[in-house]
Amino acid sequence: MHLAKALTLFCLSSGALSFKIRAFREGDCKGEATEINIWDNTCKGSGVPKTLSFEVLSYGAHRQRAGFYSDGSCNALGREWVDYFADGGSNVFKKGGCINLGFGAYSMGSRSA
């Protein structure tokens, strides 16, 4: 029993959390959708469908930022991108609302602020 508690504490304290979204291929959260889970401090560049809008399903850890990039590698240099606080502290990145990106995102990431 102590081992399970220790592992749980380690996972939570090591940042093993994530934000989760429902990604839509069209604006205004319409059309085909895919649920995507982005672990804290990682980039998801493969298997991400072109995303024009999304709905937040769950938040990441404290001080995590959610980034959305027009390329497939979470690279902001010379690309279109936007990021938000993913820990519930953003006035835009809120559960249940629809967020329009204004461009097609092909990769998503989470990083510490």
**Cα–Cα distance measured from residue 86 to residue 65, given in angstroms and rounded to the nearest whole number:** 5
Instruction: Read off the pLDDT of residues 31-69 as tens digits, 9 standing for 90 and up.
Output: 999 999 999 999 999 889 999 999 999 999 999 999 999
Alpha-carbon dihedral 8, 67, 70, 34, rounded to 10 degrees: 50
Q: How many residues does the chain have?
A: 113
Instruction: Read off the pLDDT of residues 72-104 as tens digits, 9 standing for 90 and up.
Output: 889 888 789 999 999 999 999 999 999 999 999
Domains and their CATH numbers in the chain = 17-112 (2.60.20.10)
The alpha carbon of 105 is separated from its chain's Cα centroid by a whole number of angstroms, namely 11
For strands 64-69 and 43-44, give the pairing.
Answer: unpaired
